[in-house]
Amino acid sequence: MFETLDTLSTARLIAKLEAIHEVVNDGSMPPAKFLEFKPEAALSAAQKASLLKWADQNIEQRIKKRD
């Protein structure tokens, strides 16, 4: 099953963004196996930081709406 981000419910979107945040943060994505033959796909520290920030902002903004 493939879903696109824009069709997800808010709750599921937050869940997916949180999952993205987690795997980028702990470095489990992109997978080390993949980077072995495509090292240029590795994320720089700056790229990592902007992905994390993007996920954070989108999550927090959607959680705050309820107040």
Partner 1 sequence: MKQKKFWKWMGIVFLALILLIQLMPGKLPEVRSDNPNDLLTNNNLNDTIAAILKSSCYDCHSMETRYPWYSNVAPVKWLVAYDTREGREALNFSEWETMSIRAKMKALSEIGEEVESKKMPMPVYLLTHGDARLSDSDRHKIYRWAEQFSNQLLD
Chain residues in the site for partner 1 (CB under 8 A): 9-12, 14-19, 22, 59, 62-63, 65-66
Pick 24 or 59: Cβ nearer partner 1: 59
Question: Please, what is the minimum distance in Å from the beta carbon of residue 66 to partner 1?
Answer: 5
Question: Please, what is the minimum distance in Å from the beta carbon of residue 43 to partner 1?
Answer: 21
> What are the DSSP calls for 40-56, one per residue?
GGSPPHHHHHHHHHHHH
Helix (H) or strand (E) holding 9: none
Are 20 and 7 within 8 A, CB to CB?
no
Pick 18 or 47: Cβ nearer partner 1: 18
